[in-house]
Amino acid sequence: MRAIGVERTGGLDALQQVTVPVPEPGPDELRIGVAFAAANWSDIQKRQGIYPDPVGYPVILGAEVSGIVSAIGPGVRGLAIGQRVAALCGPRLLGGYADAVVVPAAYVLRLPGDLPLDQAAALPLATLTAFHLLHTAYRIRAGQVVMVHAIAGSVGLAVTQVAGMAGARVIGTVGRPGKSGLPRRMGAELVIDRSSEDFVERALAFTDGRGVDLIIDSLGGEILPRSFDALRFHGHLINIGEAAGEPDFPVRKKLYERSTSMAGFEVLHAAPGSRTWRRGVRFVEDAVARGRLRMPVGAIFPFEDVAAMHAALEGRGTSGKLLLAVGGGSPA
């Protein structure tokens, strides 16, 4: 079968089409014939070799897919060959840019019959991340104000919707002009363009000087330390990534200025298969089926154009999810 592999980390030319054997599912696993694979920022970091967790190369990239179940291993219940599903590519969020991928059954989302497979591929990672950020790592409450950096990206859009469903108010930042439309349509009350506006001033003005309750930061760099100035006293910041680079700042001093707190977050620490994990899967499946949670698709690229997909995401002008059309499934 075809797959997009990275043997030596680097630029776009590190993305190589390779031929590999079709994988066979083991116990509690199933194989999906991939219709669409979604692009994630972490795919770029894995291609570049800067993903913080160790990744043994060569790898096949791809953290999430949609498609049709094509084989089932022993012990899998409630899923059938021919069923349309979306899934995280377990156990290490790799392998999805391929004609087929094997995933643990715990990583699968069951889809409503009318959801096109392109929209389905955009769902798993961002929506499960948003759920566990707001309901496992934090206890979001109605009326709280959440600020999300990179709000036009998939995680930002998912946090906007999941926080809105809990009755929280959402504001966010983007790094380029022209990226506010989607987050506003998803319920964000304010989208701040960091390239021309001071996000701390705007966030304080939005909250009448009080500061926001929670910040979700995926950027790090100089944006992370500055973000504490936009928190209320005893506010909380959760860092989930470092797209703008490793932050270098006196954390203790910053935390003491407003008695704030900070946490790290990794979605797989919600332990796929556990009760906590299943709560997230049920929440997403139910919200998608009721039409309350969706992930807009920004663009779909042919399998051969995987480098163009990475270039578009890296260029930071996109909003919504970028997808790779792999094969099979319903048309986009």
CB of 161 to ligand NAP, least distance (A): 13
What are the helix (H) ranges across the chain? 41-48, 117-121, 124-135, 154-165, 181-185, 199-206, 223-227, 251-257, 275-289, 306-314
Closest CB to ligand NAP: residue number: 153
Residues that bind ligand NAP (rule: CB under 6 A) add up to a total of 28
Stretch that binds ligand NAP, among 67-75, 103-111, 238-246, 272-280 (CB under 6 A): 238-246
Q: Is 93 in the site for ligand NAP (CB under 6 A)?
A: no
Kindly report the backbone phi and psi dihedral angles of residue 326, in degrees, each rounded to the nearest multiple of 5, phi listed first.
-100, -50
Binding string to ligand NAP for residues 209 to 228, with x set by CB under 6 A, is what?
A: ---------xx-x-------
- Nearer CB in complex with ligand NAP: 28/314: 314
Kindly report the backbone phi and psi dihedral angles of residue 127, in degrees, each rounded to the nearest multiple of 5, phi listed first.
-75, -40
- Nearer CB in complex with ligand NAP: 54/143: 54
83-109 b/e with 16+ CB inside 10 Å = b?
bbbbbbbbeebbbbbbbbbbbbbbbbb
Tokens of 274: 């556990």
Helices (H) and strands (E) in the chain, counts: 10, 16
Q: Is 243 in the site for ligand NAP (CB under 6 A)?
A: yes
Binding string to ligand NAP for residues 162 to 201, with x set by CB under 6 A, is what?
A: ------------xxx--x----------------------
Binding string to ligand NAP for residues 134 to 153, with x set by CB under 6 A, is what?
A: ---------------xx-xx
Q: Is 278 in the site for ligand NAP (CB under 6 A)?
A: no
- Nearer CB in complex with ligand NAP: 169/321: 321
What three-state secondary structure class fits 157? helix
Taking the C-alpha atoms of residue 130 and residue 150, their distance in angstroms, rounded to an integer, is 13
Taking the C-alpha atoms of residue 129 and residue 188, their distance in angstroms, rounded to an integer, is 18
CB of 149 to ligand NAP, least distance (A): 6
Given the rule CB under 6 A, which residues bind ligand NAP?
A: 40-42, 125-126, 129, 149-150, 152-156, 174-176, 179, 218-219, 221, 240-241, 243-244, 265-267, 316
